[in-house]
Structure 1
Amino acid sequence: MASEDKQSVGIFYLFRFVRRYGGLVVITVLFLIAGRITDSLDPIWLKKIIDGVSGHQTFQALTAVIIFYFGLKAFTFIFDFLRDVIFAPAEMGISRTLSDELFSHLLSLPIAYHVDQKIGGLSRKITRGGRAVTFILDFLIINIIPTIVELIIVTFFLLRLYPVVYGITTFVTVSCYAWFTVWATEKRQKYRLGANIADDEVAAQEVDALTNIETVKYFNNEPELRKRYLPAIGKRYDLSVASNQLFAVISSGQSLILLVGLGIILFLAIRQTLAGSLTIGDLVLLTTYIVRLSAPITVLGFTYRNIKDGLADLDGMARILQEQINIIEPIHPVKIEQPRGEIVFDQVNFSYSSKRQILKDIDFAVKPGQRVAFVGHSGVGKSTIVKLLFRFFDPTAGSIRVDGTDLRELDKETRRRIFAIVPQEPVLFNTTIGENIRFGKSDATQAEIERAAGLASIDAFVQSLPDKYDTLVGERGVKLSGGEKQRVAIARSIIRDPKILVFDEATSSLDSKSEREIQQSLRDVSIGRTTLAVAHRLSTIADSDRIYVMDKGTIVEQGTHAELLALDGIYAKLWRIQAQHKHTVAA
């Protein structure tokens, strides 16, 4: 039952997109039906030709019949050609629209959804789903509808022109074939769905290993990854083999039903021809219809099996489209034309679930142009404040205001324009340095890119490269050093000239020399902006206007560096530990 519900969802999404190209689809179906009608009529005229020849009619007497016969052939060709020409843009348009909506929906889903996904498995669902759309449409328009039309026409002529036994035999054969196909295919479907799930896991492991190949090599852990990989591909193998073996059983059963049913029709036709109650033309007509009947019935069974497979593939993509966007944009969003950069957290509470509260009663205000920092042990909620500020999540209680406007009422475009971040681990796209910087402002000119790079102190380095800003950075920026990647990330953040700049442990993964250089760059780009820094190394934020010390999800101390040292609390203890460590390392 659950499987049927999932497939119904897949069908719903498919036809939702088909409706957008309804006109082209309807015209395609009309040409398709016309082609099947003309194609089904030509055996009747072939019968007339054969009966005329066997009856010793003159060529002149048969000329009109021959012309009409080839005229039907020509019209069938024309109708089929027009069907294919008109259907092509409809099919590709449906696929393009679906891909666009799926990609847009994925990008709009909250960060909480993405962190729970395995990228390889997600990618495989999208690929299979997109392939299933064109696959189902092809079989539906090119196979199922014409097959049904042809079955109706052939059965009609058999009942009209010949004894009722031919029609009854045809009806019983088709009914048995259809029942067996549906019953057996449903039995096979659980293996197909299981194979898809196993395939997702295989893809997830492949992408995970290749994405982290450097770590794999460092730890010489290829055997361990292979050890994990073998059970995954083994499960996929077992389910796929079971599915394919059932497929063979279904095909054999279908062939047997056809052999018996159509064999009876052919036996009766030959017997009546020999008895003289049917002409040679009748035998040719019946034989032609039997062949034409067996082909569409076979196609119908094959198509049904494959459409069920396609619906199983479509299920994963449909479930992605069903995912809810829980960060709701306001109906009447507020735009801030001249942002000042004021931030206020007012009694903010946040928890991912009812079992664990991450932030409790967070209260602070940042004035325009002020430099503030959040420090504390790992896991106390510092980075969660950043995620709330960028509205990856909404507070479970309290409010966050920017320039007096609740963040939940703020226009998305305004948020993008006001905020920018330099993360702890900058991730670069596998494109050029210039395009990575332009990602911060899609319409940036080359002059703006170079200016941002200059402020981030990386322009001179880029200009020294053979391809300058057209230099490819590799997957996740692997061709650049940590400091170079961080500078590109800084340039990407400031190119849009944000009023509020966030540094989330922006130098924690760098060596001391790179850290000092990046810190200077951060100070340079912070001038005239409100800056909020999350830091582990206290020396990097000691000159902040205000420092907030967090512990267990709440602010326990606040003040300047000097005030916090005088307070002799958590901050002072952390400072002494880090200072002692630095002295020990230097010694």
Structure 2
Amino acid sequence: MRRAAALPEPAASPGAPRSDWATLQRLLPYLWDYRWRVAAALVFLVAAKAANLGVPLLLKELVDRLAPGPVDARALLVVPAGLLVAYAALRLSTSVFTELRELVFAKATHGASKRIALEVFQHLHALSLRFHLERQTGGLTRDIERGTKALQSLVSYSLYTIVPTLVELGLALLLLGAKFDMGFVGITVAALVVYVVFTVSITEWRTQFRRRMNELDSRAHTRAIDALLNYETVKYFNNEAFEAQRYDQGLDEYRRAQIHSQNSLSMLNTGQQAIIAVSLLAMLWRATSGVVEGRLTLGDLVLINALLIQLYIPMNFLGVLYREVKQSLADLDKMFTLLAREREVADAPGAVALQVSGVTVRFEDVHFAYEPARPILHGVSFEIPAGRTVAVVGASGAGKSTLSRLLYRFYDVSGGRITIDGQDIRQVTQDSLRRAIGIVPQDTVLFNDTVAYNIGYGRTGATRDEIEAAARAAHIHDFIVAQPKGYDTVVGERGLKLSGGEKQRVAIARTLLKNPPVLVFDEATSALDSANERAIQAELKSASQGKTTLVIAHRLSTVVQAHEILVMDAGHIVERGTHEALLAAGGRYARMWALQHRRPEDTAQDPHGHQVA
């Protein structure tokens, strides 16, 4: 009896969104590398705000100097002129310090953004095949795009708007308290508290609408991308109107969410303006009363009014800023959730590079299931001796292609083990393992690039001569040079500009160029006509000389030269032997051979017109 084996569980789905503070903590290490730039940017920020606060002080002095009353004529000419020059200098200083702040910090913002985007890209490639089979490409790319932009927005809003506003607010309160009475400070603080509480409360309530908008946006985008990627299928079934209707439905749901969001935004803006208007009225009433009573000058009134304008103009955008910061944190959290997703297939601690010598591959009592309730392989054991070819045949769904996926470690076995030269492939690095294997898959997908690029992808850095040699070996060189652009011909999205047979020959050339010690041919000639199949079979046989080769096939004529043939059914090996031995045994393989080589006139039919063996 076979031992019970734990079946692989799907990768954990992302959990609930983490807190904003947790997201910020996750972000800080990326900015810590630029801490000196952050410090310099903060210095320039404070300098810019100090210069900005100097402007209303100069206005006060200018107004007081020009107030009616006996003055020295020379002072009346010289002093205001000097104040005007100082006023212009402060205005210029504010702009200079602001630009210096952005100049210094730009490298930090874009550097951190680039680093995160690269890490997410690398991590997505490191995730298992199960994740990529379950993903929705449109929504995933949208999340990555929004997350990358969110970092830049978050830094921009916080360092360039929120932090400067807080610095300016602190300096203004100090100025009001030092030059005037605490009543002005009290009114300002009370107004700000009410403003912030109102803004945060309404914005938190509005977040549900923005989140819903993003979900609907991603859904509509995913539908559009899927429809475009499956362009031919849409055309085959005349479903252009159906796809347009689905996309329109998604856009309509998105539009309704936008309207809800806009209505709540209008309510937020109206409330904010009411709070600002009341506080302005209270401050200016108190300042005007002071002027009338002689406690304050006209310059003081101008100073207070200018301070309030400088404070409340950025405060007008607090709701927008808070919402955008919250949304940026949410978008960043989605991207960090992708980074936090555990790899289902990861290198073992202390994994070493695969040491290749004779290259003997063994499957030892291998059990596997994509889902716990649906086992695929049941105790499969066989050996591919070094330099030999083993073929696996059987009906669709028998588990043949699963063998190649397990050999590549797209998944890990749930029982037993796979070894190469005695080394368990789970104990070696995935990079070294996959460098030792080359595959011609049944479903060939090409990059939307040139033919030369797609063939050269088998070994990046290969010369044009080596690429052409591989193309000749795959019998596609003549077709390529017959094209107007030759090897610079672009193959289109997923290679759709090429026929199935042409794509498969490109895949064969790519694998021949890689020239690994282990070869896997998964229905490598299924899309070829008989003449090309025979020619390619000769090339594949030549390429397999001295290499350990696993051939997966439906057409038995392609495996007759194999050193051993395995017949699989429902995840079990039911027969094994050479072509001649299996024919002589008269079992399942012999019946498959007879069925594939039967002449049409020899095929019997039942009373309903169905073919019978």
Name the TM-score class by shorter chain: over 0.9
* 1:479/1:201 CA distance change after superposition, 3 Å: same
Q: Which residue of 1 aligns with 2:4?
A: none
Dislocated runs of 4+, deviation >6 Å: 581-585
Seen in structure 2, the aligned counterparts of structure 1 residues 310 and 583 have a Cα distance that, compared at 3 Å, is farther
Please, which of 205, 209, 212 is the counterpart of residue 227 of structure 2? Answer: 209
Cα 1:397–1:525 shift into 2, 3 Å: same
1:29 paired residue number: 42
In structure 1, what is the Cα distance between the partners aligned to 2:395 and 2:560?
16
Which runs of 5 or more residues in structure 1 are unaligned? none
Aligned-pair distance for 1:214?
A: 1.3
What's the offset of the Cα at 1:274? 3.1
Q: 1:10 to 1:577 in 2, by over 3 A?
A: farther
Equivalent of residue 424 in structure 1, options 430, 439, 442: 442
| Deviations, residues 57-94 of structure 1 (Å, cap 9, x unaligned) | 51345566555444433432331121121111111111
User: 1 CA distance for matches of 2:17 and 2:580?
Assistant: 67
Structure 1, residues 535-565: CA drift from partner, whole Å, max 9, x if none? 1122221221111111221211111112222
SS at match of 2:362: strand
Shift of 1:3: 6.5
3-state SS of the aligned residue for 1:44? helix
Q: What TM-score, normalized by structure 2, do the two folds share?
A: 0.91
Aligned-partner Cα distance in 2 for 1:538–1:332: 43
Counterpart of 1:13 in structure 2 is 26
2:521 aligned with 1:508: no
Aligned mates of 1:172, 1:33 — CA distance in 2: 24
CA 573–3 in structure 1, closer or farther in 2 if over 3 Å, else same: closer
| Within-5 A mapping of 1:262-277 | 262-277=280-295
Once residues 41 and 270 of structure 1 are traced to their aligned partners in structure 2, the CA distance between those partners, rounded to angstroms, is 22
Kindly state the Cα deviation for residue 112 of structure 1 after the two structures are TM-superposed: 0.9
CA distance in 2, matches of 1:4, 1:119: 21
| Bigger Cα displacement from structure 2, 26-35 vs 114-123 | 26-35
Residue 389 of structure 1 and its aligned partner are, at CA, apart by 0.2
CA–CA separation in structure 1 for the residues paired with 2:318 and 2:86: 30
Higher mean displacement: 137-146 or 411-420: 411-420
Structure 2 residue 387 is matched with structure 1 residue 369: yes
Cα distance, 1:441 vs structure 2: 0.9
Name the residue aligned to 1:566.
584
Counterpart CA distance in 1 for 2:351 and 2:157 is 46
Counterpart contact for 2:418–2:425, Cα < 8 Å: yes
Judging changes above 3 Å, is the alpha-carbon distance between structure 1 residues 543 and 38 closer, same or farther for their aligned structure 2 residues? same
Answer whether contact 1:425 1:509 (CA < 8 A) is retained. Answer: no
* Distance in 1 between residues matched to 2:364 and 2:400, nearest whole Å: 16
**In the alignment, which residue of structure 2 is the partner of 1:439?**
457
- TM-aligned CA distance change 1:163 to 1:197, over 3 Å: same
Report the equivalent of 1:357.
375
Letter in 1 for 2:35: G
Q: Distance in 1 between matches of 2:17 and 2:52?
A: 36
Query: Is residue 2:107 matched to residue 1:89?
Result: yes
Distance 1:456 1:66 in 2: 81
The AA in structure 2 aligned to 1:429 is F
Partner of 2:514: 496
Deviates more, 1:496-505 or 1:236-245: 236-245
The Cα of 1:313 is off from its aligned counterpart by 2.5
Q: Is the 8 A contact 1:9 1:318 kept in 2?
A: no
Rate the CA distance shift 1:521–1:44 in 2: closer, same or farther, 3 A.
same
1:226 aligns with 2:239: no
Q: Is the 8 A contact 1:339 1:418 kept in 2?
A: no
Deviation track 1:400-443 (CA, whole Å, cap 9, x = no partner) reads: 11112111122333223210100112111011111111111112
Q: Pick which of 500-509 and 58-67 moved more.
A: 58-67
Tell me what 1:197 maps to.
Answer: 215
Q: Distance in 2 between matches of 1:311 and 1:538?
A: 57
Q: What does 1:80-479 correspond to in 2, within 5 Å?
A: 80-336=98-354, 338-479=356-497
Following TM superposition, by how much is the alpha carbon of 1:5 offset from its aligned partner in structure 2, in angstroms?
2.3
CA–CA separation in structure 1 for the residues paired with 2:332 and 2:253: 21
CA contact (8 A) 2:438 2:511 kept: yes
The 3 A distance-change label for structure 1 pair 3 and 290 is farther
Instruction: Sort the Cα spacing of 1:520 and 1:81 in 2 relative to 1 into closer, same or farther, 3 A.
Output: same
Code of the aligned partner of 1:325: R
TM, length-normalised to structure 1 = 0.95
The separation in 1 between residues aligned to 2:50 and 2:576, in whole angstroms, is 84
- Tell me which amino acid in the other structure corresponds to 1:506: A
- Give the Å deviation of 1:223: 2.2
The CA deviation at 1:303 is: 0.8
In structure 2, the residue matched to 1:76 is: 94
Cα distance in 2 for residues equivalent to 1:3 and 1:355: 27
After TM superposition, give the deviation of residue 514 of structure 1 in Å: 4.3
Partner deviation per Cα, 1:266-307 (whole Å, 9 max, x = no partner): 222223223332211111101100101111222333211211
Q: For 2:485 and 2:211, locate their aligned partners in 1 and report how far apart those are by CA, in whole Å.
A: 48
Pick the aligned partner of 1:41 from 54, 57, 77.
54
CA 1:201–1:582: 2 relative to 1, 3 Å:
farther
Change (3 A) 1:321 1:471: same
Equivalent in the alignment of 2:611: none
Contact in 1 for aligned 2:406/2:413 (Cα 8 Å): yes
Whole-Å Cα distance in 1 between the matches of residues 451 and 521 of structure 2? 21
Task: Give the residue type in structure 1 aligned to 2:237.
Answer: F
Task: Tell me, yes or no, if the aligned pair for 1:456 and 1:525 is still in contact at 8 Å.
Answer: no
Q: 2:498 aligns with which of 472, 476, 480?
A: 480
Q: Which residue number corresponds to residue 63 of structure 2?
A: 50
Change beyond 3 A, Cα 1:250–1:3? farther
User: How far is 1:583 from its partner?
Assistant: 6.6
**What residue identity is the alignment partner of 2:370?**
Y
Q: What count of residue pairs does the alignment treat as equivalent?
A: 584
For 1:582 and 1:563, locate their aligned partners in 2 and report how far apart those are by CA, in whole Å: 26
Q: Structure 1's 187 and 337: CA in aligned 2 closer, same or farther, altered over 3 A?
A: same
SS of structure 2 residue aligned to 1:477: coil
SS in 1 for 2:33: helix
SS of the residue 1:365 aligns to: strand
| Segment of structure 1 superposing worse, 134-143 or 317-326 | 317-326
1:223/1:4 Cα in 2 relative to 1: closer, same or farther (>3 Å)?
A: closer
Residue deviations 1:77-131, cap 9 Å, x none?
3311211211111111111111111111111111111100011111111111111
Structure 2: distance between partners of 1:69 and 1:221 = 68
The CA deviation at 1:477 is 1.1
- Is the 8 Å Cα contact of residues 268 and 319 (structure 2) preserved in structure 1? no
> CA RMSD for the aligned pairs?
2.1
Give the share of equivalent positions with the same residue, in percent.
Answer: 38
Amino acid at match of 1:191: F
Aligned equivalents of 1:92, 1:133: Cα separation in 2: 9
